[in-house]
Structure 1
C-alpha cells in the first residue's frame, strides 16, 4: 500500500460556505505516497442529482418506487497512463497536490436537501486507480443554494403576491346546542428562517367548558416517482395559549419564532417539494373540526455572524367581524 492518504477539499466562495448556479467550484486533490507509485488513473468528479426511493406494500408483495434526476456531471482527469492500463503514470513519493476547477451550470437547480424518502445532493469525488483490484476513493458533499429568491414561483406565481399580506380564517365548532367560534389571523404568509410571525386568535366561547388554543408548525414533504406519490408529515407544538373561560370571549396574541435550521419552502424540484402550515387547535371535548390551518412560506434567512433575537414589534389590523 504505497498510497498512504487521499484527500479532497474545495475553496469556499460565499459567507455561507454554499455554492449556487454559475459559481466556480475549485479545489485540490492531495495524494500522499510512501514511494514512487505507478497509477492507471487519477480523476475528480462533480455531480448534482436528486433521488427519490421508498417501499410500500402492494398486496402480499413489497413494491419499490424510485426515480432520479441528474442536474450536472463533470469529470476531470488529472493523470491517466498513456497506454490505458499498464500503470505507466508516476506519482512521486511524498505529498502531491493537484488542483481542479469546474463551472457550475447557470440554470435553475434546487438547494441541497435531505427528506424522509428523497435527497438533493451536490458532491465531489476523487478516484485513484492503481489496478483493477486496488482503487482509492474519497467523496465530499458540497452545500448548494438555489439562486431563486422564491423557489416555488414556477409552480405558484400568485403566492408571491400574498407573502406580506395577512392570512385570515374562521372556524365554528359545535358542542351540543352550543358553539365555539375561532377567528385566526397571521401577520403574514412569508417568514424568513430565524424570524418571527405574529398570530392573533379571537375565541368566542358559548359553551360551558373552558377551551385552550394550541399552536403548531406543520411540515409536509411530498415525493413523486414512477407516477406514484407519497407524503410525509410532521408537526411540532409551538406554544399553548391562555385558557378561555366558559361563556366568554378572549383574543390571544402569540409571537412564534421560526427555527433558523428549518429548510426553506421549495417547489423547484420535479420529484419532491416542501411545504409548511400554521395550525391552531382547540381542545373541545367531543367536538369536530376544531382546528384551522394557514399557509406559511419559509424563506431563506440572511446569514448572521452573531445570533440575534427576532423582532417582537408585531402589529395587527382589527379582526373583521
Structure 2
C-alpha cells in the first residue's frame, strides 16, 4: 500500500493576468496527503529561472548541434529540513506554506520559441530514504519591467531617403517618414505619417510593415526567425505627383514584449517603410520599435535630479526641516544674503543655543574656526533610530488552520542610516580648566588709609647705596 496519496502545490496570483516581475514575492502552499505514517528526509520548494536554446544545422553529411544555457536564479526554501535523522510525518493532510522573493534587477520575460525558451517555474520535491523522489512543478509567467531609457523611447522619430532613378526611368523620388514614438504598449496604436514626392517618370506603391525578429545565439552562431505582424499597402502614386500617407497600426494585445536583456535569446521589432518600384531598387526606411507590457506605466518614472545637485536644490521642492537659508545651492551651500560659502547645515543663531540636561553647555563653532576638542564629547543625537518592520511581516496567516507552521523567515536588520550632511553641534560636558594669570607687579599689603601724617622716610633709608661713591672730580 503506498504511503503518499497526493502531493500538490499552488501559488497566489498578484494580478488578474497572473504574472510576476522583478522583486515580487512568490507565496503559496504545498499540500501533502499521507495514507499512513511516513518517514521523510526533506521537503523543499525551489524557484528557478533558466534560458535554453538548441538547434541543428546540416552541412553535407555532417550535422552540427548548437546549444546554450543561461541560469538567472535558483532559490530554495526548506519546508522539512534534511537532518541527521529522518522526520516522521503522521497520517493525514499536511499543509506547508512558502514565500520566496524574486531577485530584483534585469530579468528577461518568459518566452517559448521554435529553437529556445525562457522559463520560470516552481518545484516542490519530497525526498524519502530508499524511495524515488516525488516532484510537482508549476510554470509561472514572468513579465520583465526592465526597460532602460524609456523616456527617450517616447520621443518621435523620423528619417528621410532620396533615390535617383536608373536606366528604365528618369528623375528622383523623396520620402520622409515620421513615427510618433519608439516604445508602444501591448494594444497601443502606432501613428505614422509618410510624405512622398515622386519627381520621376515611374509609378510606385508605398508599403509599410511591422516585423518581429527572434534571434537565437549559441557557440558564436545565430539563428533568426522573421515574421510579419502587420502590413499596409497604399494606393499607387502617379508620376510627377506627391502624396501624404497617414495611417495607424495597432499592436496586438497578446504580442510578445521585446526581450533585450537576454544573452542567448532576443525578441526585436522594427517598422519598415518602402516604395515598391518596378525594375528598380526599392528605397526604404527602417525604425526600431520596442513593445512593452500593457501594465507598464511609462508615464511614471523615478525622479532624476538635474545635474550633480541633491533633490530640493536651487529653489526646488525639499523635504528638509531646515530653513531655506541652509538649503544646498550647487555643489556647496551658499548663503542667499552674503553669497559666501559656508559649511553644510551651519545655522546662525540670534540667541544663545538651548542647554540640554546631559550637556550643560553647547557651543556653536564659527564656520572658519575648528574648536579645540575637549576630553569628553557628545554628538548630541538624542533621537533613537526608528526600527523598521520586518519585510516579511506575517505572510503565513490565513483563514484555515495550518498544521505545520512554515520555517521562520530570516530577520533582516535595517541598514545603518547615512551620516547627516550637517555637522553636529559641539557639546562640552565639563568646563575647561581656568588658567592662572601671571602677576605683573608685587602685591602690596600696606593699608594707606591707616597711615599717620608723619613725614615719609628719607630716600637713603629706603634705598641704601650698594657701593661707596668715590668722586674724583677735578
Retained in 2: the 8 A contact 1:48–1:72? yes
2:111 to 110, 113, 120: 113
Greater per-residue strand proportion: 1
1:277 aligned to which of 270, 275, 300: 270
Residue of structure 2 aligned with 1:170, choices 161, 165, 176:
161
1:125, distance to aligned residue in structure 2 (A): 0.6
- Compute the displacement of 1:220 (Å): 1.7
Give the corresponding residue for 1:310: none
Q: 1:210·1:246 contact (CA, 8 Å) conserved in 2?
A: yes
The residue that corresponds to 1:4 in the other structure is: 5
| C-alpha RMSD over aligned residues | 2.8
Secondary structure at the residue paired with 2:262?
coil
1:223-242 aligned at under 5 Å gives the runs: 223-242=216-235
Classify the secondary structure of the residue corresponding to 1:283.
strand
Cα distance between partner residues in 1 of 2:63 and 2:189: 44
1:245 aligned counterpart, secondary structure: coil
- Structure-1 residue corresponding to 2:125: 127
Is 1:161 aligned to 2:160, yes or no?
no
Change (3 A) 1:269 1:25: same
Change over 3 Å in CA distance of 1:185–1:21 after alignment to 2: closer
Distance in 2, matches of 1:147 and 1:191, equals 13
Using the alignment, how far apart are the partners of 2:153 and 2:144 within structure 1? 22
C-alpha distance in 1, partners of 2:111/2:89? 40
Larger radius of gyration: 2
Q: Distance in 1 between matches of 2:121 and 2:72?
A: 12
Cα pair distance change 1:303/1:297, threshold 3 Å: closer
- Whether the 8 Å contact between 2:210 and 2:230 is mirrored in structure 1 is yes
Residue 287 to residue 133, structure 1, CA distance change in 2 (3 Å): farther
CA 254–41 in structure 1, closer or farther in 2 if over 3 Å, else same: same
State the Cα deviation string for residues 34-75 of structure 1 (Å, max 9, x = none): 344444432211112222222223553222222222221122
Verify the 8 A CA contact 1:81 1:89 in the aligned structure 2. no
- Whether 2:100 is the aligned partner of 1:92: answer no
Which residue does the alignment assign to 1:22? 23
Q: Kindly tell me the number of residue pairs found equivalent between the two proteins.
A: 294
Which residue number in structure 1 is paired with residue 314 of structure 2? none
Aligned CA distance change for structure 1 residues 30 and 205 (closer, same or farther; 3 Å) = same
CA contact (8 A) 1:80 1:89 kept: no
CA distance in 2 between partners of 1:262 and 1:234 (Å)? 12
Counting only pairs closer than 5 Å after superposition, residues 35-46 of structure 1 correspond to structure 2 as: 35-46=36-47
More displaced, 234-243 or 41-50? 234-243
Query: How far is 1:253 from its partner?
Result: 0.5
Deviations, residues 15-52 of structure 1 (Å, cap 9, x unaligned): 54322333222111112333444444322111122222
* Contact persistence 1:111–1:144 (CA under 8 A): yes
Structure-2-length-normalised TM-score: 0.56
> What is the SS of the residue equivalent to 2:20?
coil
Query: In structure 2, the residue corresponding to 1:250 is in which secondary structure?
Result: strand
Corresponding position of 1:61: 62
Q: 1:91 to 1:235 in 2, by over 3 A?
A: farther
**Paired residues for 1:287-302 under 5 Å:** 287-302=280-295
Specify whether residues 210 and 2 from structure 1 end up closer, same or farther in structure 2 by C-alpha distance, changes over 3 A only: farther
The answer for the alignment partner of 1:286 in structure 2 is: 279
Alpha-carbon distance change, 12 to 237 in structure 1, aligned in 2, over 3 angstroms: closer
Larger RCO, structure (CA 8 Å, separation 6 or more): 1
* 1: CA distance, partners of 2:130 / 2:65: 33
CA-CA distance at 1:97 after TM superposition: 1.3
Residue range with higher mean Cα deviation, 52-61 or 251-260: 52-61
Structure 2 unmatched runs, 5+: 298-474
Partners of 1:250 and 1:17 lie apart in 2 by 47
Q: Determine whether 1:194 maps to 2:187.
A: yes
Separation in 1, partners of 2:240, 2:207: 19
**Helix, strand or coil at the partner of 1:142:** strand
Asked if the contact 1:43–1:79 (Cα under 8 Å) also holds between the matched residues in 2, the reply is: yes
1:243 positional shift: 3.0
8 A contact 1:39–1:80 mirrored in 2: no
